[in-house]
Amino acid sequence: MYENNYRMETLKIGDKAPEFAGKNQDGSEVSLKDFLGKKLVLYFYPRDNTAGCTAEACNLRDNYKLLMDKGFAILGISADDEKSHTRFITKFQLPFSLIADTDKKICKLYGVWGPKKFMGRSVDGIHRTTFIIAEKGYIEAVFNKVDTGNHTEQILNELKIK
């Protein structure tokens, strides 16, 4: 039904990042405006507590101080609910917030929700994607092929940050 490499149209480098607001694991509202003046690692991932998503979150956790020292903030988004995010954060001691996008509005706004292959069949879901949003709200980098275990290195290399 769908091509193996089908992807929804995502934002591109230089695009203005779409404004969004959503509830994090604590039920607090988090919006793009909260991060103006910092570089934001905005990462979309399929599901809490799965192997790839855990590897990606833990890589960002393990490099959190380094990224903060380089002027970055980190925010994750998935379609899991607040309770799932709370358990995921607690289990892996994540120092950053996760937005519960259960209605998938933010995912659709950023073009990361759509059909994909999973275990040989087509399903709708989140395409693992990371956007680096510059201090003034523009897309600086887009990662469609995330190296979950080395994502921080991938980000810093792409942006040529030492």
Active site residue ranges: 53
Q: Which residues of 43-63 are buried (b: 16+ CB within 10 A; e: fewer)?
A: bbbbebeeeebbbbbbbbbeb
User: Which 3 state secondary structure label does DSSP give 60?
Assistant: helix
Residue 143 token pair: 């990662």
Strands 113-118 vs 21-23: parallel, antiparallel or unpaired: unpaired
Strands 72-78 vs 39-44: parallel, antiparallel or unpaired: parallel
